[in-house]
Amino acid sequence: MKRLSILLALGALSVALGSCDDPIASKEYSLQELHYKEGVLTTSQTFDFTRWIEVGKGSYRLPSIAVDEDAKNTYWASASNQGYTLLSSSPTDFPVVPLEVNGEAQGAVIRSIKGFYFFGFGTNVIAGALYTGQVDTKHLVAKPLESTLFGQPYSSGLPELVDFTYQYKAGEKVIHGQDKQVELPSEDRASVSAVFYEVTDDASYLNGQTLQTDPRIVAKGYVELAPTTPAGEWQSYRLHLQPVDEARYAAVDMAKKKYRLALVFSSSFRGAEYIGAVGSELRLQQVTIKDRVKSNH
């Protein structure tokens, strides 16, 4: 009888998700699979980076989550790719590109590349970053950290885990891209952030200045990745999102409030400070978000 009740509950939830009228939520749910394990109803959402979309004719490509995705409003974004188009007169070698095997996309490559720095403009190292969200192009040049709008709508449940498969190699020499005399790390590392936050009335986004510190953050996880050994071997990592404030975490209400989840992958962990090593490269083959569905009762 208990098992039957569980199955009926799963069926009812599947119908509810499938009948959602919100197109963004519908896109979310189309990526999900339902599981029942150890008495906890969870959802999982996986990105394999095998489909890419061209962002503007003759421009760069980004991972796509649906065949009908709008190239002007993609789920994944890269301010580093967009910035590179401004720094280079003939951009060809972007920081974020598909990982191709026999001519087919099998993942994503996120890399720190040589940039351009002149008259206080630009940087000699562009740290690659791939994230869920948008690029605010009007701030890209004058306020680059504020141009990264992190997060996409998230309503399936409380994200608890982000599993991903990766390779990482560090470039030879860490530099400051604007030639400032600061203490530099001896070796570059990649970074991965997962931040779940509440959307307030102004609907503003977290950005490069507020990603780890904004008071609206409900839960977050962060890791720095050293070079994988042996070179070329794929490794798996499980990133846990921890509550920032237990009371706010307990008060999460998907029915009454809106939330976003920001996933941010960077090839140089201090790239926001213009610090990194040309040649650092983070490769991703699969990213899976696992949620705990929160009851509103």
pLDDT of 142 reads 81
Own/partner contacts of 196-200, CB < 8 Å, gap of 24 or more, are 196/154, 196/158, 196/159, 196/220, 196/241, 196/259, 196/260, 196/261, 196/262, 197/151, 197/259, 197/260, 197/262, 198/248, 198/257, 198/258, 198/259, 199/153, 199/257, 199/258, 199/259, 199/260
Higher pLDDT, 160 or 28: 160
pLDDT of 120 reads 76
Whether residue 22 has pLDDT greater than 70: no
Opening angle at CA 112, ends 189 and 123, nearest 5: 115
pLDDT of 50 reads 97
How do residues 189-215 score in pLDDT, each as one tens digit? 999 999 999 999 999 999 999 999 999
Whether residue 178 has pLDDT greater than 90: yes
Whether residue 55 has pLDDT greater than 70: yes
Indicate the SS3 state at residue 71: coil
Does the bond joining 159 to the residue before it have cis omega, within 30 degrees of 0? no
Give the mean model confidence (pLDDT) for residues 221-250. Answer: 93
pLDDT of 214 reads 96
Lowest mean pLDDT among 88-92, 165-169, 247-251: 88-92
Cα–Cα dist 33/127, whole Å = 34
Indicate the SS3 state at residue 110: strand
Lowest mean pLDDT among 2-6, 273-277, 293-297: 2-6
How do residues 86-141 score in pLDDT, each as one tens digit? 776 666 789 999 999 999 999 999 999 998 887 777 889 999 999 999 999 888 88
How do residues 28-44 score in pLDDT, each as one tens digit? 444 444 433 333 455 78
Cα–Cα dist 155/293, whole Å = 9
Lowest mean pLDDT among 73-87, 148-162, 265-279: 73-87
Q: What is the DSSP letter of 206?
A: B
pTM equals 0.85
Cα-atom radius of gyration of the chain, to the nearest Å?
Answer: 20
Whether residue 296 has pLDDT greater than 90: no
